[in-house]
Chains A and B, each alone.
Chain A
Amino acid sequence: MVKKAASKTTKEPTAKKSLDTDRFGPSTITDEVVLEVKNLQTNFTTKWGTVKACDGISYSVRRGETLGIVGESGSGKSVTALSIMRLIQSPPGDIVGGEVILNGRDILQISESQMTSVRGGEISMILQDPMQALNPVFDINDQVGEAIGIHQKVKGKTRWEKVVDALRKVRIPAAETRAKDYPHQLSGGMRQRVVGAIGISSNPDVIIADEPTTSLDVTIQAAYLRLLKQIQSETGAAIIFITHDFGIVAKMCDRVAVMYAGRIVEMADVREIFNNPLHEYTKALIGSVPKLEEKTGRLPQIEGQPPLLYDLPPGDSFAPRSPLKYDEKDALIRPELIEAKPNHFVQLSRCSVKDFDKYKDKVSYG
């Protein structure tokens, strides 16, 4: 099964620090693991059969760290996040196995009422579409205040002050007047900030950001990403950033997990992923993005379509799209996630890892 993700990574502190100081101030990573996901499995029952949307996912995040989860639509990245929040609707969804250990206890085992205080309290989520995440008939004060009221048990003037405070934290100008506005009176960037304010209002330990900037313009996106980093350095929260854009990963994340068809295919530090990707899928994802910095020739492209989760190829699900030559029988072997190099995990398969032979002694099969 999947090996436990290391909780301590070796970094070159000097090089990293100088770079991060340029970007967002000094690195905030500590050694304390806040959230650990172990072998999480979520299935959906559909008319085509059981879909393993999240098939044995394991990762951990440390306080102050940003973990990027990258993958195409349907790769299971959002389902993993919703499973952690226990927001999977049942039926059709079911968390069938695994543990989610938040601050030392398994939140899959606690009662629903306990979960209500954890959700939005210790762990919160910033959703993708700010127009859908906000209710158009309530003003900003009501919506930010609702979260504050539930988690901090405050009312009246104290609550109002905390709302204004939360809005100030996400740097909404004229927070007192803005708090009385309705969502339609705000611009897209401001709305996304309000959603962010709801997310951070109770000082969560873990923030799950599910593509919060896809609907924003580049300049607004840049400001929002900077804001998230700023909040992280103030509160020390761990951020799980779900995205399909390697540009955001390059800008925001300390560590990256690449997902494909419900499983993690590669996980490593951000620079390691960009400099020495091992899995063909990771290589292709990074390579197929046009670069702003230089005029690129023809883009390398990944052939084929993302697989349908109810009709996955047996064994290595990436094999049909892999550019490598391989034996049909190798594609039938279900690959394991192994630690190929220190803190660099890869789903080792002869079909999708070029240097398979270099690492094959780390696997239990031939």
Chain B
Amino acid sequence: MTTEEKVDYSHIPPAIGCSNDGEPIIQVRNIRKWYQVNKALPFIGRIDWLKAVDDVSFDVTPGKTIGLVGESGCGKTTTAKMVLGLEEPSTDGEVPIGQIYFQGEDVKTLSSAGRKEMRRSVQAVFQDPWSSLNPRMRVSTIIAEPLEINTTMTKKERDTRAGDLLGEVGLNPYQGNLYPHEFSGGQRQRIGIARALALNPKLIVLDEPVSALDVSIRAQIMNLLVDLQEEHNLAYILIAHNLATVRYMCHATAVMYLGVVQEYGDTEAIFANPTHLYTNALISAALPSHPDIVRDEIVLPGEVVSPVNPPAGDVFMSRTPLEVRKNHKYTKERPPLKEIGKDHYVVETPWSTVTGHDLSEFHLSVDQEM
């Protein structure tokens, strides 16, 4: 499929908070990733499932960044891996639970040419620039490797392209002859970005691209990513746990807890009016940018629950400081995202939102919290 053709989105199932305007590159619909932890014995014993990702839907549109936020173990990386095709969404027997669509086509049924195009169009930049570059390869070879595999370019053309890419990410073309160890962390991350750009992708998955870097270098890399996005109309999926980075870079944000999206929508809508208790807890725990900013910390009781056999109903229920009324309708089934404002969706249950509650009742002292 070429990009000039009009993509048909009519067969894609609707999902809350997603629309086909903006011609999404990737559409994720109700994907799940369940890992089987043990084998069930016949008749006795039960299968334990580690539900890393459970029913996640979002759209990725050109020129926009979507941020996946949450604590470790919330499934944000697994979600990104499925988009990259490194993990396959779980199936129920033969039938996949949930689909990923690439330019309107289910990736499961893509032709081999379509699959190749998807591989070219979706690239990744990883967290650790020390382990994501092969120390035995020259930088120009690292950058040109995707070209060697995916295009018919000659060696000379590839080297020229590698030099151009180095220039684009703010390095000198002659530095292509050096090895990764001769670069600092920020420069290596630039090399990683150049490699991701080599095939003119439409979407780059950024897995914590700046968290391993020095603070003074982070701004350089974030600005570079923003510039490249404007220049090439790139889409990004940004995985981060630093909310300030998310607010700076992302157009849309999905806050995840235990494999489930708890709050989703326009980044500014979420930060202007964070509604889910978990989002509020994350924001209140974030570090201030000035000593005079003192946030009242909302401390959720307990720790993140194990994702093995999570509760059937609302996964967040066990963390809420509010009293849970028994026999509520969401104790058995998963509560859906609900629209609460323009481009702002939240899992709304009596115990998961801050609406109508005095926040100060959640502020617990150090001793109570442990």
Contacts and interface: CB of A to CB of B under 8 A. Distances in A.
Given A217-B72, A223-B369, A301-B219, A292 B291 contact: no
Contact of B292 (A221, A248, A271): A271
Given A219-B282, A221-B285, A299-B223, A290 B247 contact: yes
Given A217-B72, A223-B369, A251-B287, A290 B216 contact: no
B131 interface: no
A292 B282 contact: no
A97 interface: no
Contact of B215 (A72, A251, A300): A72
A22 interface: yes
Interface SS of chain B: helix
A274 B291 CA distance: 8
Nearest to B186: A305
B288 A247 contact: yes
Contact of A226 (B185, B245, B294, B366): B366
B289 A299 contact: no
A241 interface: no
Contact of A299 (B219, B284, B292): B219
Given A227-B366, A244-B214, A291 B289 contact: yes
B286 interface: yes
B290 A290 contact: no
B291 A219 contact: no
Assign chain B's interface to a size class: 35 or more
Nearest to A168: B370
A189 B303 contact: yes
B222 interface: yes
B366 A250 contact: no
Given A73-B214, A171-B370, A217 B290 contact: no
Interface in B355-370: 366-367, 369-370
B244 A292 contact: yes
Interface of B: 71-72, 184-187, 214-220, 222-223, 226, 241-245, 247-249, 268, 271, 281-294, 296-297, 299-300, 303, 366-367, 369-370
10 contacts: A72-B214, A218-B242, A219-B300, A222-B285, A227-B366, A247-B289, A249-B291, A271-B292, A284-B216, A290-B245
Nearest first, the 6 A-B pairs at minimum CB distance are A247-B287, A290-B248, A288-B219, A222-B285, A171-B370, A301-B219
Given A285-B215, A295-B247, A295-B268, 9 more contacts: A222-B285, A223-B370, A250-B287, A289-B218, A290-B247, A298-B223, A301-B223, A305-B187, A306-B184
